[in-house]
Structure formats: structure tokens, C-alpha cells
Amino acid sequence: MSKASVSRTDVAALVAGVRDRKRYAVSQAITLVESSRPDHRAAARELLLELSESACDAVRVGISGVPGSGKSTFIESLGTQLTAAGHRVGVLAVDPSSTRTGGSVLGDKTRMSRLSADPNAYIRPSPAAGTLGGVARATTQAMLVLEAAGYDVVLVETVGVGQSEVTVAGMVDTFLFLTLARTGDQLQGIKKGILEIADVIAVNKADGDREIEARSAAKELAGALRLVYAGGESWVPPVLTCSGLEGRDVDHVWKRVTDHREHLGTDGLAAKRAEQQLEFTWALVRDELDQRLRHSPGVRRIRADVRDAVLSGELPATDRLLVVSGRVSFEIVQKAVAAGVAGIVAVSAPSSLAVDLAREHGLLLAALVRDERMNVYAGDELLGDA
């Protein structure tokens, strides 16, 4: 599929295949939504539009922890228990290392050999390339494909470093953090703010010699969390112990995950997802803008000069962008010019008068036009209109 363009009939066949829960169709559909080629994006939009009508209401859970904390072993164990209980389980991965190196750590299928052989489970390695924003888009859309194929539990695995957790937390209902019984790890977790986004925490590898240690670490962590959540939040993340390897107490962890979702309630969950959708849209706008600006010949031409000017202090780096949630009118551009902002970012096409005025004043104007198409105007030239 990577070379050939995707016709209407192909999309219709994919939709039918996904709805019929055919694995190859699910794989192909996910490959399509991961692609950044403009014609593939168009076909992906068509596909997602069709599929969204039949998507099931899946439980979306993010699972994070540092490498070696036992994520894949835990997911193998949890996934197998869930399929045995009649669920269909999809596993996706967001791996920031793959976005840099092109090699995927989390995508290594051999790690979950039992679950990958399970007919009621589907494991997808992380998309191999792209920005975190691009990977987030691909993952969010892959989730929709899985839900349309009747996977009622979707687990999104990510490595416990940096921005990837925040990204994953922004696409799931409940965020589970796996940690180990080592004080250093716990303090680091608190420092990085991971514990603030975790809804459920499990001290993993609570087996053999480590069991007692794990229990006391869980207690200590629960104490620390009570301080973090002293403000009277209604949900204080519970801290449990479990052993992914032995499959012990994995069901307890899952129970707390579903408790958290119940705690959100139907309205709460709907509100959370709507908020996520909005945030996701903005992430797309930022990502798309960033990409287009980086690749635009116009920007390339002036980039070195601007960089030098900022570094030498000639140009203040405080110039702001005005973000407009609707159409950019002539009046908005007038105000922006008067306020001296550097540019305007909007979610729909500007009026032609607005474009003229922005050009006249050398104002950068970027608008997201229909779905993910983006037009960027700067000065007197149209920089991009893919």
C-alpha cells in the first residue's frame, strides 16, 4: 500500500474487512492511517469517517513505565486474562525512541508471544517514524480502527520518558503507571510529574524476594500521593502491587482501572474525551504548522537571518502568535497588526480581505482548512497549500 494510491473501492473493501474483523484489513487500515502521504491522508479520512459510525465504545487505557519495569510482561498477562474473559484486546505503542531513530523498542512482537498468537488480541508495533505529534495522530486513529473492528479494550503502551506520557494520557480514559520498588524511581516519577497524570499506580514485580519490598514501596508511594492530592480531589490514584510475570493481582489492578472509568461516569467520560479531541486538534495544528514552516522554502531562506537576529538580541523572541478559533476576518487582522503580533493561527480559512491585509503587513497567517489541510501565508507569498 505504501507506493500505490488508494482508490475508493480499496477504501470500501477496507471498511468492510475491518467491520468483519479481518486481521489483514485491520493491519492495512492502520498502515493507511499512519501514512503521511497526502493521497493516503485523504483515503484515511474517508475510511475513518465510515468506520466511526460502527466503532464500539472501548475502554482506552495508557500503560507506562521505564524500560524494564515489566510493561510487556504485564500486558501479556492482562491481555490474556481479558481475552479469556471474552474481551477483544488491541495493543498499540507510542515509542519516542522510534520517532528519533526509526527503530522501535516497543514494537518488538516477540515480547508478547502468547498474546500475539491469541485470535482475540491484536498487537501493533509503534509507527516507525515521524514527530511525536504525527505518531499521536496515527495512534489515535489506529485506536478508532481497532474500535471499529470490535476491540473493546485498547491498551496504549509507552516508555516512561519525557513528553510521550503526556501525549498518551491525552488519548486514553485511564492512565496506569507501572513502577518498581526502588525509591529512586518513585522520586523520579514524582519529579517528572508522571504521578500527577497517573490514575492508577502499580508497583510491579511484587514476587519472590521482592514482594515485601514492593509492598512497603507501595505504602510509601501512597503516602506521597496523599500529599500531592491534598487538595481534596475526588479521585486519589490508588497504589497497588502486582506481578506481571506470575499474573498475580493483575486483576486487582484492572479492577481499579475500571473503577476509575466508572468514577468518571458517562458524562465525565464524554467530557474528558471531548476535551481530548479539542486538545488533539490543536496538537495537530501545532504539528502541521511546525512541519510546514520547517519545510517551507520561504522560511528556510530567512531562518538563518532570524536565528542570528534573535541570538544577537536584535530581534526579541517574545513576539506572540494570535490563535483564532474561527475564521480570520479583516477586523481580526487589523487588531493583530495594531497589537504587533507576529502572526495568526486559525482553524478555518481566512477571508480574502484578511489575507490581503496580512500580506500587506507581512503578517504570518496560517489556517487549517478542512480536516488536516493547511494553508500558510507569509508576506506576499503563499508558502504551502498541501
Q: Which residues bind ligand GDP (CB under 6 A)?
A: 65, 67-73, 111, 204-205, 207, 243-245
89 CB neighbour count, 10 Å cutoff: 25
Cβ nearer to ligand GDP, comparing 242 with 357: 242
Cβ nearer to ligand GDP, comparing 139 with 296: 139
CA terminus-to-terminus distance, the chain: 21
Closest CA to 61 of 196, 229, 261: 261
Cβ nearer to ligand GDP, comparing 214 with 328: 214
* H or E segment and range at residue 7: none
* H or E segment and range at residue 315: none
Cα dihedral: 100, 101, 102, 106 (round 10): -90
Cβ nearer to ligand GDP, comparing 243 with 276: 243
Q: Could you tell me how far CA 247 lies from the centroid of its own chain?
A: 28
Helix, strand, coil content of the chain in percent (nearest 5)? 55, 15, 30
CB of 163 to ligand GDP, least distance (A): 18
Cβ nearer to ligand GDP, comparing 139 with 243: 243
Strand partners, 205: none
CB of 106 to ligand GDP, least distance (A): 7
CB of 209 to ligand GDP, least distance (A): 9
String of b and e for 328-357 (b: at least 16 CB within 10 Å)?
bbbebbeebbeeebebbbbbebbeeebbeb
Cβ nearer to ligand GDP, comparing 35 with 99: 99
CB of 108 to ligand GDP, least distance (A): 9
CB of 162 to ligand GDP, least distance (A): 16
For β-strands 59-65 and 153-159, DSSP reports them as parallel
**340 φψ region: left (φ > 0), alpha (ψ -120 to 50), beta (else):** left
CB of 34 to ligand GDP, least distance (A): 22
Closest CA to 166 of 138, 194, 189, 144: 194
Cβ nearer to ligand GDP, comparing 47 with 63: 63
CB of 213 to ligand GDP, least distance (A): 12
Position of minimal CB gap to ligand GDP? 70
